Chains A and B, each alone.
Chain A
Amino acid sequence: MSRLVRIELLKLRTTRLTFGLLAIGTALCALDAVLRDARAGNGRLPPLDTAAGLSNGLTVTGFAMLMAWVLGVTMASGEFRHQTATLTYLQAPARSRVLRAKMIASGIVGLAFGAGGAAATTAVSMIFVAARADPISVGSGTIVRYAVGAIVGAALLAALGAALGSVIRGQLGAVIGVLVWALFVESIVGGLFNSIGPFLPFTAATTLAGARLGGGGFGYSGSSTASPLPFLAAGLLVAAMAVAIGAVAAQTTIRRDVT
């Protein structure tokens, strides 16, 4: 298995898409943090010298997680788009093992996406705090927990993406589907049904990084009466979704003929 994971990691390292998505995710997190920190204390958002205000900027790592999700989807569905599945399955005829290796490898690379997003939002927020000579109103332990949450969330979404990309072989459709789901469907469903919101995969992943339901990260907008899932529960939920979709792929799509 470790050889297959190393192969998948090498595949990810040798295409520019990986680095492009990492750069986009990190840049968007930084931009999102700038927009939130710049408007902090304007009446709608709490000021930066409060824990709530600073956390608003620190926890907007959703774009990094979203790009990690997209990466997972593209790495799996790309095998069929570029017909490289032929060589992949010649190298490793046990296709379920290949799927597991892809999920693990995309999860490992997803860690970097989460770290990039967390580093960007932390750096931006600290620059704003320093510029305004505000006190750092969030403890270092909490900042580390946010970063760890972003890293874990991005890794889990990347693995979920690899499983999804194995089920939905059409790469463009799969990527658009993930973007629409994260940007619109979860917002609508979470807004309409507050109790369901915390259990939606992207929302659950962003709450791992400290984002508030309906406020931080990239979840649904508006106020929510529900509470985010505890860290462990949110992590296990997204992991369980990845495993479940991977199991579906293992029983269906990846068994198909490679013609």
Chain B
Amino acid sequence: MSTIEVRGLTKRFGTVTAVDGLDFEVDSGSVVGFLGPNGAGKTTTLRVLLGLVAPTAGTATINGHPYASLPDPVRLVGAALEASACHPGRSARNHLRIHALAGGAGPRDINRALDAVGLSDVADRRVGGFSLGMRQRLGLATALLHDPEILILDEPANGLDPEGVRWLRRTLRGLAGEGRTVLVSSHILAEVAQTVDRVIILDRGRLVTQSSLAELAARGRRTVRVRTPESRRLLDALGAREYIDARGVGDWVHVSGATAEEVGLLAARHAIPIFEATTDGADLEDAFLALTNGASGQPIRRGGADQSPEEACR
């Protein structure tokens, strides 16, 4: 059963179309990465979903209702949208006390939320003195305060240091383990790849794909690395196949778009000796970038024998 449903969602700000005919759903109990480069429309979509931004067209519902029509929205949905959305003169505890009052949570819930995000020691300090990472944690504490079934987190890793990112991964894994429905946005797949079941990828306001990580990985281009003393001849032979990208690095030839068997057969046909052949696993990040036309995902031009894959991607 879908907990979150977005149908035909379009949002225009003046002449700018931030979200363009978006359709996706998030099943109950699943943890979904909402991915896309900056400006893809992720935040706008989440804000429409939460009733903060009015859609130009289409619908965005939670449990079949617009957010504003939910009977007790803060107890059902916990949201962390922006780290800076706290009054700088208020303490972290008082920030949570206000949110607690909205959903009927008590002091024990506040302490639990502060503990969960590691802010207990600074709970009575004013938020104005907090780092961005601490504010992110406070935002997450706010989202968790009412122990909601559904969590909507917008770029929660922004501003976190490496330890903070590790903490976030652990936290998201914990939330996933508790069977909550989590929709977490990011522009970096690696931030959420270890946690999410599925990904929804946006680019320029449009849905690029909605799939499992395994399906996404399957879309990634595998690379066959072949060691041969006649790399130039092998490159020439591979160059005749339009769908194959190949480049040489010394004795090695890196081939995309063909399997190791295909490369081996081709080499045998041309009597090219092969000393070693390995297949690299598909790179999720590459697949993501390719889908969103990221810099590294641009179609790779055929390179010469002196050009490494990394150089070709630059």
Contact = CB atoms under 8 A, between A and B. Distances in A.
B142 to A, nearest CB: 7
Interface in A74-131: 78, 82-84, 86-87, 89-94
Nearest to A86: B85
Nearest to A8: B98
A83 B89 contact: no
B221 interface: no
B53 to A, nearest CB: 4
A3 B85 contact: no
Q: Which of B52, B73, B88, B98 has the most CB of A within 10 A?
A: B98
Interface string B41-53: 0001001001111
Contacts of B266: none
Interface string B21-55: 00000000000000000000000100100111110
Contact of A93 (B73, B81, B84): B73
B252 interface: no
Contacts of A16: 89
B99 A87 contact: yes
B232 interface: no
B106 to A, nearest CB: 14
Given A82-B88, A84-B85, A92 B102 contact: yes
Interface string A135-165: 0000000000000000000000000000000
- Secondary structure at the A interface, as helix, strand, loop or mixed, is helix
Q: Which of A7, A11, A82, A87 has the most CB of B within 10 A?
A: A87
Interface string B64-85: 0001100001100101011011
Given A3-B101, A6-B101, A90 B79 contact: yes
B246 to A, nearest CB: 47
Interface residues of B, number: 32
Q: Which of B44, B88, B97 has the most CB of A within 10 A?
A: B97
Given A7-B101, A90-B50, A257-B53, A84 B87 contact: yes
A58 B47 CA distance: 52
A258 interface: yes
Contacts of B88: 82
A90 B87 contact: no
Contacts of A255: 54
B101 A10 contact: yes
Contacts of B87: 11, 15, 78, 82, 84
A10 B74 contact: no
20 contacts: A10-B97, A10-B98, A14-B90, A15-B90, A16-B89, A17-B89, A82-B84, A84-B86, A87-B99, A89-B51, A90-B73, A90-B79, A92-B102, A94-B68, A255-B54, A257-B13, A257-B47, A257-B54, A258-B52, A259-B52
Given A78-B87, A89-B51, 7 more contacts: A14-B90, A14-B94, A86-B81, A91-B74, A257-B47, A257-B54, A258-B53
